[in-house]
Every structure is written in structure tokens, then in C-alpha cells.
């Protein structure tokens, strides 16, 4: 059980923001935090932040890789061992394209469609690196709801863009 009340989306988003603050500021990426929650038990299954794990890792990817390791499966087979009522909180909308060549986070989330029911986002992805992020539409087409958690946008954007050159 989490100490956060079930359904307190703002509190879970604040936890994701705490994760984002752990990410090193760089001009070439956003500092993003993510939290995976089993909504039926209100248990936090994993947290992650940008560049937490080796490789050019994103926050959602780190959550999934840590869960896969915990369960002794590959990330591709993670759906086989996860509960069916998951929600993902991420400070920035999952990416739909990776300039590094890594699998986009939207595709990683879609592999868990049926387990992940809802993705709660703090802000939509700014168009700094990839214009026209199609992530939200792609997730919705896969049957995953995308819901904005309002009230933390300014703080999330400030954390996400730390290290970026200001115009």
C-alpha cells in the first residue's frame, strides 16, 4: 500500500516530479519522472527518472526495466507478470519518437495495453526535440486513457528543461 491516498493523482504526480528532480540536467533531454501504480491495491510498483539506468534511458523505460528485473523477465514479456489494473504517472507525455534510436516510450507503454489502463501526464511534450508528438493519440487508439493532471505544469516544465539553453 502507498501512503498516498488512492486516486490522489496530484500526489502521485508530485512523487513523479520528485523522481524527475533526480535526473541530471542536460541540454539534450527532458528531466522526467514516472511512477507505476497498481490501482487495485494502490501499491507503487516502480519509479523511474530520465537517465537513471545506463544508456539513454527515459523515465518510463526505467520503470519497466526495473519491474522486468524484479520479476525475472525481459521488458518485452513484462505484461505476462503484471496485474491488470495499472496506471502510469509521468511528468511529461511519453515520447512517440526517440532521436537516439531507442524504442519510444509510447511503444513501451502500448506493449502493456490491457495492463496499463491510464497514463496520467503532467504536461504534453514540448516540441523542442520532436515536433508533433503523436503519443497521446497512439495510446488512446490502443485503448489506454491519457489524462492530464493539472496544477503542476509550471513546476514540471521548469524541472524538465533545467540545463536547456534559454532563448
3-state secondary structure of 48: strand
The boundaries of the domain holding residue 110 are 9-160
CATH of the domain at 54: 3.40.140.10
Residue 1 is assigned to a structural domain of this protein: no
SS (H, E, C) 63-107: HHHHHHHHHCCCHHHHHHCCCCCEEEEEEECCCCCCCCCCCCHHH
Residue 165 is assigned to a structural domain of this protein: no
Q: What is the pLDDT of residue 166?
A: 72
Q: How many domains does the chain have?
A: 1
3-state secondary structure of 43: strand
Q: Show the DSSP H helices in the chain as ranges.
A: 9-20, 59-71, 105-110, 135-141, 153-160
Q: Looking up cell 518485452, which residue turns up?
A: 76
Q: Give CA–CA dist 40/26, Å, rounded.
A: 37
Residue 167 is assigned to a structural domain of this protein: no
Residue 54 is assigned to a structural domain of this protein: yes
Q: What is the pLDDT of residue 102?
A: 84
Q: What is the pLDDT of residue 125?
A: 67
150 assigned to active site: no
pLDDT tens, residue order, the chain (167 aa) = 578 999 999 999 999 999 999 999 988 888 999 999 999 999 999 999 999 999 889 999 999 999 999 999 999 999 999 999 999 999 999 988 877 778 999 999 999 999 999 999 999 766 555 556 677 889 999 999 999 999 999 999 999 999 887 76
Residue 128 is assigned to a structural domain of this protein: yes
φ, ψ of residue 43 in degrees (nearest 5)? -90, 130
Q: Spot the catalytic one: 52, 60, 93, 125.
A: 60
In the structure, how many helices (H) and strands (E) does the chain have? 5, 5
- Please, what is the Cα angle at 87 between 6 and 59, to 5 degrees? 115
Residue 2 is assigned to a structural domain of this protein: no
Residue 166 is assigned to a structural domain of this protein: no
Query: What cell was used for 18?
Result: 520528485
Residue 122 is assigned to a structural domain of this protein: yes
Amino acid at each position: 500500500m502507498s501512503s498516498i491516498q488512492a486516486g490522489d493523482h496530484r500526489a502521485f504526480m508530485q512523487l513523479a516530479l520528485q523522481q524527475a528532480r533526480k535526473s541530471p540536467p542536460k541540454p539534450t533531454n527532458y528531466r522526467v519522472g514516472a511512477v507505476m501504480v497498481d490501482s487495485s491495491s494502490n501499491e507503487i510498483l516502480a519509479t523511474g527518472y530520465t537517465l537513471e539506468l545506463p544508456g539513454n534511458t527515459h523515465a518510463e523505460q526505467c520503470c519497466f526495466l526495473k519491474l522486468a528485473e524484479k520479476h525475472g523477465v525481459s521488458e518485452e514479456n513484462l505484461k505476462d507478470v503484471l496485474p491488470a489494473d495499472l496506471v502510469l504517472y509521468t511528468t511529461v507525455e511519453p515520447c512517440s519518437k526517440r532521436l537516439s534510436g531507442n524504442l519510444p516510450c509510447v511503444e513501451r507503454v502500448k506493449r502493456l495495453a490491457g495492463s496499463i489502463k491510464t497514463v496520467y501526464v503532467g504536461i504534453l511534450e514540448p516540441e523542442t526535440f520532436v515536433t508533433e508528438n503523436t503519443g497521446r493519440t497512439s495510446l488512446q487508439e490502443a485503448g489506454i486513457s491519457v489524462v492530464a493532471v493539472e496544477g503542476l505544469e509550471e513546476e514540471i516544465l521548469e524541472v524538465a528543461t533545467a540545463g536547456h539553453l534559454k532563448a
